[in-house]
Structure 1
Amino acid sequence: MNSSFCYSVLLVLFLVSSFEPQPLCGADPTDGFTPVPLTDNNLQLQRPYNVPLQDRYSNKNGVRTLWVYSNDKPFKPDSPTKPRTEIRIAGHDYSSGVWQFEGNAFVPKGTTGVAIAQILGAAEGATTMQLRMYNGDLKYYNSELVASNMYDKWFRVNIIHDVNGGKVTVFIDGVQKYVGKDKGKATNMYFKCGVYTQVGSSNYMESRWKGIKLFKK
């Protein structure tokens, strides 16, 4: 056996022994879903009724920034709801099937006591679910922790609503973080994202969104 052959064998063994296999990626939350086309007409803006849109919303380079103050007016004069600046997914209200919202979110430090995403419509109550930010922690309403330390970074949000199965599932950055029962069927249900004031909110609330998508089965 010549020396060059031995050297080649040793080199191959070294390379094999030093190789560290990469973990396989899990399934994407959108696998098996069909994209629903969205245009700007489907992304309806709601903001305090007495201020111009540009005073509570901007869209620059694909990043939609929404903000509101705790003492702002509601989105229409006769509404008893708290201040909000939100994107309402319009034209695709649903009452059955399996639907999914996707968006990349960013919440700056200091924003707290605010719903940044929600499903409107339910048999019991006004909403099927809300994702709220409290001091950097993302929660299901004000109870179960979904993800922690979420300030000042982009994160991907996927919310799946299985209406017939009565189930809501939340993924953060592709990892399942919450599964729970919904609150029953309603005639019209739809997704929203932005900032919607809750009890114990900061004076100023802001969230940024990009890559908003809708899927269904």
Structure 2
Amino acid sequence: MNRLSLKIVCTFLIATLLGACYKTATQTEKIQQERQISTEANPTSGWTQTSYTYGIQTPWDQPQSNRYSYSAGEHHFWIYAGDACQFEGCTTGPRSELRMNNNYTSGKHQFEGDVYIVSGSAGTDIMQVFGGATNATAIMLKIHAASSGTIKRYDNETLMTNAYNKWIHVNVQHDADNGKIYVYLNNALKGTYADRGDATHYFKCGVYNISGTRSETRWKNIKYWKNGPVGQ
């Protein structure tokens, strides 16, 4: 075999091997993607979307527009250290929050929305299920400054790190009949928790309390769901 023929054969073999490797890698990536998609939950499957009304709570001593705005489907909430609470004489921390008017004491209820947490927000509750027998709330999702933004249940279990400056999909299911709360972030179940007792409950989101200088969240696609399967 002359040099030209040998070169042609070698080139063919190399191309064949590279093509096989590329095909194998592509197939592997596709399988991994399919597995990832198949393991994602659909927290609202089997639930009934329900209309709701809401109110906005901001520091009592200044115009609402100083701490809240709404535009193009996005609610913007922000507070500063030293801000007042929502009404004169109250002793809670500063807040700029959407209070959903969905009071309930029984049944299955679900909050859904997308949140963008601005970097620097710290010591701040971004979503809560209000009402409890042993505490004022059934659950709070709280942003901490560590690890580029860490979402925790209160100051306890870590639910997500690297949470700053990106949209995060949030679902919180509350089975009030059985006292259980299920928290999903980006369609992954992050934890199941006791709801701290029977009470009148409702959903809130925005910013409440602060340990830094300024806290801000942006919320969109906020929905209310009722009566579906929990913890799927």
Tell me the TM-score range normalised by the shorter chain: 0.7 to 0.9
Matched, 1:171 2:181: no
SS at match of 1:30: coil
Alignment partners' CA distance in 1, 2:55 and 2:87: 14
SS at match of 1:68: strand
Identity %: 36
SS at match of 1:123: coil
Deviation at 1:182, TM superposition (A): 1.1
Aligned equivalent of 1:47: 58
Q: Which has the larger radius of gyration?
A: 2
Aligned equivalent of 1:88: 99
Structure 2 stretches lacking a partner, 5+ long: 1-19, 228-232
Aligned equivalent of 2:196: 183
Alignment partners' CA distance in 2, 1:70 and 1:115: 14
SS at match of 2:218: strand
Alignment partners' CA distance in 2, 1:114 and 1:70: 11
Alignment partners' CA distance in 1, 2:59 and 2:41: 40
SS at match of 2:65: helix
- Note the 1:89-128 alignment, pairs <5 A: 89-90=100-101, 92-128=102-138
Aligned equivalent of 1:9: none
Deviation at 1:78, TM superposition (A): 2.3
- Note the 1:129-208 alignment, pairs <5 A: 129-135=139-145, 136-186=149-199, 188-198=200-210, 201-208=211-218
Q: TM-score, normalised by structure 2?
A: 0.81
SS at match of 1:74: coil
- The one-character-per-residue Cα deviations of 1:144-199 (angstroms, maximum 9, x if unpaired) are 1011110000000100111111111100000001111110110x21000000005x
Alignment partners' CA distance in 2, 1:43 and 1:208: 16
Aligned equivalent of 1:60: 71
Q: TM-score, normalised by structure 1?
A: 0.86
- The one-character-per-residue Cα deviations of 1:76-124 (angstroms, maximum 9, x if unpaired) are 002111110000001x200001110001000111110000000111111
**What do you get for the CA RMSD once the two structures are aligned?**
1.6
More helix by share: 2
Aligned equivalent of 1:28: 42
